[in-house]
Amino acid sequence: MRIGLGYDVHKLVYNRHLVLGGVLIPFDKGLLGHSDADVLIHAIMDSLLGASCLGDIGKYFPDNDKRYKDISSLKLLSKVSNLIEDNKYVIENIDSTIIAEKPKLSPYIKDMRANIAKTLNINISAISIKATTEEGLGFTGSGEGIAVQSICLLNKIT
């Protein structure tokens, strides 16, 4: 049994789409990044890679590699899923918390869970996603960015 912790943060900017968990969310700002900047998927990938001692997403998808420019993070998650499987791990569960003052995310969480479960080929019941605010405090509270914390549990296939 192995536990992995992931964390990611991206700045909110104008003229970008807001994508979380592979879901396009209507909002006047989006996340800045080399890929689609899906901060939720990035934190999940880092938790999975950490639990399996395979490094972090920068090792596999460097932000200076043109192949990953504006790529869907779900495609990257699929590659991480293959790495996990190749190293004989099975995902037991993933629990993530999105930290953002706006927009309200509860209407989109079910679709996020479904996208992630489908990409990882696991049951949606193994994916938990919550959203919270920081009551106006810090960079997330002021609307400057969005952060995500993610933890996962893996088991080795014997």
Binding residues for a divalent metal cation: 8, 10, 42
Question: Which residues are CB-contacts of 91 (< 8 A; sequence separation ≥ 6)?
Answer: 48, 84, 120, 122, 126, 152, 153, 154
Angle, vertex CA 127, rays to CA 85 and CA 29, nearest 5: 105
Return binding residues: 8-10, 34-35, 42, 56-58, 61-65, 132-135, 139
Rounded Cα gap, residues 148 and 158, in angstroms: 32
